[in-house]
């Protein structure tokens, strides 16, 4: 009988994926979802030691005009897209190398928040390879399905400045 590693048993680390990421020797974006926010970190790995260059969470969208009364929806598809756009702009502003994406142990389903984040990264002029058909529809990205409507275009313009 083989003993399962503790972090694998807790559903925190997929060691096969981690080894592939380390062998690629490229920086990566670690994207995680909490109960209220998205978290993204730009990570470099040297000798299997991760060094976080910078990180952000979706709460920073409040600075760009996301309505405070809609702060409960900072985990929706429009928030994921805008957060990806903001994170991609920060990577390009700091002139960092184009990374690979690490979603960790999250289920990667098409047209979800994960791909909303990826579309935001791609729209920020980052060179990320992904099929366009996996991205959410444009009306979902703009927030037509939200109960509390947001001024999507205004927030997007503020991020793109």
For residue 86 the two structure tokens come to 């903001």
Please give the pLDDT value at position 57: 96
**Complete domains list, the chain, with CATH:** 7-160 (3.30.420.100)
Tens of pLDDT along 90-100? 999 999 999 99
Orientation angle between helical segments 113-123 and 77-93, nearest 10 degrees: 40
Sheet holding 28-33, edge to edge: 49-57, 38-46, 28-33, 100-102
pLDDT at 76 over 90: yes
pLDDT at 146 over 90: no
Please give the pLDDT value at position 145: 83
Please give the average per-residue pLDDT across 100-124, as a whole number: 95
92 CB-side CA count, 13 A: 16
Mean pLDDT of the chain: 94
Residue 68 exposed, middle or buried by CB count within 10 Å (0-12, 13-18, 19+): exposed
For residue 25 the two structure tokens come to 């020797």
Angle value at C-alpha 126, between 125 and 128, nearest 5 degrees: 130
pLDDT at 136 over 90: yes
Chain length of the chain:
161
CB 136 within 8 Å of CB 53: no
């Amino acid at each position: 009988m083989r003993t399962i590693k503790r972090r694998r048993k807790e559903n925190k680390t997929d060691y096969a994926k981690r080894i592939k990421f380390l062998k690629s020797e490229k920086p990566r974006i670690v994207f995680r979802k909490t109960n209220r926010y998205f978290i993204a970190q730009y990570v470099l790995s040297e000798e299997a030691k991760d060094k976080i260059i910078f990180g952000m969470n979706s709460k920073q969208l409040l600075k760009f005009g996301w309505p405070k009364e809609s702060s409960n929806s900072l985990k929706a598809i429009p928030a994921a897209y805008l957060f990806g756009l903001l994170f991609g702009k920060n990577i390009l502003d700091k002139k960092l190398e184009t990374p690979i994406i690490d979603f960790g142990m999250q289920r990667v389903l098409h047209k979800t928040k994960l791909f909303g984040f990826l579309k935001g990264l791609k729209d920020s002029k980052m060179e990320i390879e992904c099929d366009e058909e996996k991205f959410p529809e444009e009306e979902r990205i703009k927030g037509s399905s939200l109960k509390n409507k947001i001024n999507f275009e205004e927030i997007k313009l503020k991020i793109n400045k």
